[in-house]
Structure formats: structure tokens, C-alpha cells
Amino acid sequence: MPRYSDDEILAAYEQAGTKAGAARLLDMDERGYKRRFKRINKPKEYQAPDGYYVKGVSTLQDAEGNVKVRWVKTDLDKERALELMREVVSAMASEIQPERAVTRSISDTRADLLNCYILTDYHLGMYAWGEETGADWDIQIAEDLLVDWFAIAIEQAPPAKVGIFAQLGDFLHWDGMDAVTPTSNHLLDADTRFQLVVRVAIRVVRRIIRMLLDKHERVHVIMGEGNHDPASSVWLRELMHSLYAEESRVTVDTSVDPYYCYEHGKTSLFFHHGHKRKPKNVDHVFASKFREVFGRTQFSYAHLGHLHNNTSEETNLMEVEQHRTLASPDAYAVRGGWGSGREAKVITYHAEYGQTGRITISPDMVRDAKDA
């Protein structure tokens, strides 16, 4: 009996319409034909593209149980996607021309002081319609406000030796080509294309770092992970680290853990977006993760964002503060009834005495200062 190929087995079935008819057409034993047909149509293991995983296979069968159509369902493998993002940034780094050293215009600074510029939940790329949300928000408004806010904050802050750019997460409103939340795929109000959001994010962060270098002898940069931008926070950290590799006055925290720490004399500062731990239970996480720093210091302060409103409490371990955002609320927040004021702070810390001062600046204050 001739040996038929898989294609010939399937073609006979298409022509005859039944397995018995196909067996007769090929002059095969009906039982033998059915075994071959079943083996050919046995579900195969499917390989998803890199960065994805197979989460299910759906099959459409006819009345006899024969496979007519099969759909392979894949989803984003978030951990692998982060690995791929790091690989891309690493490859890009070899082509990046590092920033040249910046000469400070302010000659005198106090070595015992540190200014911490806290920014959280800025949602760059978000769109808000003022008639609906109370204030307009788009990519240009966001860029202009951030630069103007830092100009005023830097001018008003004391001449501290160290400046920390503490960006606590959700700097970008979404995290890829589709304007949806990374974990729930909820549709977001987006102003523009993701590539432009990336371009503006890089441009404005570089500009802010340059402004801080003009004020402070040392600048420490934290690009925290948020729930809206877990992957983008990766390339922001790695890119800034590469850009300022030859600027000895800049350090960038490249930790993959979404908890960050900075030590200044007897003062320890801790940072987290607030999407994994809340103000009521984050203190012991910081004390555990940064055990040596916590043990060496006398004054400890933790800073969180995420919920867009101010809260503050002192635990047995540290003072924990949750911060507002400068950004306008979006339609989702307004319709859900979640409201808060808009502001950002510069907090000054002393190496011997802990917190010694703070400056709070709202968008209205920025606007009035520009109009003055």
C-alpha cells in the first residue's frame, strides 16, 4: 500500500467529506486512515513570540470532532518584557554620548544640607478636558509646568550641597503602544502617541538634572517604579545612568527593587511609589531592606505617592508621608469622586538634625510667579 503524505491524507478528507469516504478514495483501511487523521490533527505545542506566553488554545471542530480552526491566545510576559527592555537599553547605551560636566553658577553650598525635590504621579501623556476635570492637561502643559516648577523651587531652596530628584513613579501615564493600564488593561485618556511621550520625558528629565547641577554640588536621581509605568521606569533609570556616566556629580539609582534609599549623615530617606505597600505598613519594609542604613541613622523619613493626596504619620520607626501630585485629575478620578489638591514639595534635611524646612509650590503659584 502506498505511503501517503499528511497533505494527501487531509486532501482526501476535504474531497470525500467523511473519513470513511477518504479511506475508500485512497484505498486504505478505514481504521488506519482514522488513526493517521487523528495524529495529524493532534494539538501541537505552540511557541509564543519572545516577550509573550501562551495562555490558551481555542479550537473549532465540526460535528465529527475534526479541527477546522485553531486560535492560539497569547499575553504579555511582563517579567520577560522587562528583561527585553533592559537589553534594549543596554544595547543603546553603547551608542549614547554622555552628558558633559556642568559648571555650577552658585559657588557656595552648605555641606550639611540636602534638598529633596519630590515629584510623584505626574502622568506625562495624560489628557484632561478642563470643562470635565476642572483643569486642562496635555503633553505641552505638563512639560511647561514641570520646568517652571523646578525653576521656582530651585531658586527658593537653600544652597544645599546635595539635591535629590525624587521622582516616585507614574511619571508616564501609560507604558507602551496602547494607552491602557499595564495590569488591568483599562483604557486611559491619552493626549498623544507613546513615542512623543518618551521623547518629552527624556528631554524634560535631562533639563531638570541640568538645572539641579547648576544649584547643587551633587545630584542624586531616583526614577521610581509606578503602577502605570513599570517598564518605562526601567529605561528611564538605565538611560539616565548611561547619559551621566561621565558626570561625576550625578548618581542615578538603578535598583530593580521598587524601594529606594539615600543616607545623609544622621538622616535616612526612603522612597516608594505606594503601589506595593501603603503608609501604614511600609516602615518595617524599609527598615528591613535597608537594615544597615536604618541602624546607622537617627532620623528617618519615608516618601510615597500613588493616591494623589497628603497624609502623614509618625511610626515607631520613621515619619511616613504620602504626597499630592502637580498633575490635573483625569476624567476617571473626577467621575469616581476622588479629589485632591495639586502641589509638590522641596524638603530640606540637615545631616545632624533631620528635617529643617520645606517649600510647597502649587500650579497656581507657578502661574502667578510667571505673570508677575
Query: Rounded CA gap, 165 and 220, in Å?
Result: 6
Query: What stretch of H or E contains 250?
Result: strand 250-252
> For the chain, first and last CA: distance in Å?
97
Tens digits of residue pLDDT in 144-196? 999 999 999 999 999 999 999 999 999 999 998 889 898 888 899 999 899 89
Q: Which of 79, 93, 97, 347 is nearest to 237 (CA)?
A: 93
What pTM does this model have? 0.76
Residue-level pLDDT at 185: 84
The set of cell numbers assigned to 80 is: 520577560
Residue-level pLDDT at 254: 97
**Mean pLDDT confidence for 100-104:** 73
Confidence of residue 14 (pLDDT cuts 50, 70, 90): confident
Unique residue bearing C-alpha cell 487523528: 38
For residues 332-344, one letter each, b for 16 or more C-beta atoms within 10 angstroms of the residue's C-beta and e for the rest, the string is ebeeeeeeeebbb
Query: Rounded CA gap, 144 and 363, in Å?
Result: 11
47-51, 90-94, 172-176, 186-190: least confident range:
47-51
Q: Which residues pair with 219 in a beta bridge?
A: 163, 250
Tens digits of residue pLDDT in 209-224? 999 999 999 999 999 9
3 state SS of 133: helix
Residue 95 has pLDDT above 70, yes or no: no
**Mean pLDDT confidence for 33-53:** 67
Confidence of residue 53 (pLDDT cuts 50, 70, 90): low
Residue-level pLDDT at 100: 76
* Domains in the chain, CATH or no CATH each: 105-371 (3.60.21.10)
Query: Rounded CA gap, 17 and 49, in Å?
Result: 35
Helix pair angle (194-215, 230-243), 10° resolution: 50
Residue 7 has pLDDT above 90, yes or no: no
Q: Whole-number mean pLDDT of the chain? A: 88
Residue-level pLDDT at 87: 60
Query: Rounded CA gap, 305 and 22, in Å?
Result: 68
Tens digits of residue pLDDT in 107-130? 689 999 999 999 999 999 999 999
Query: Rounded CA gap, 232 and 252, in Å?
Result: 15
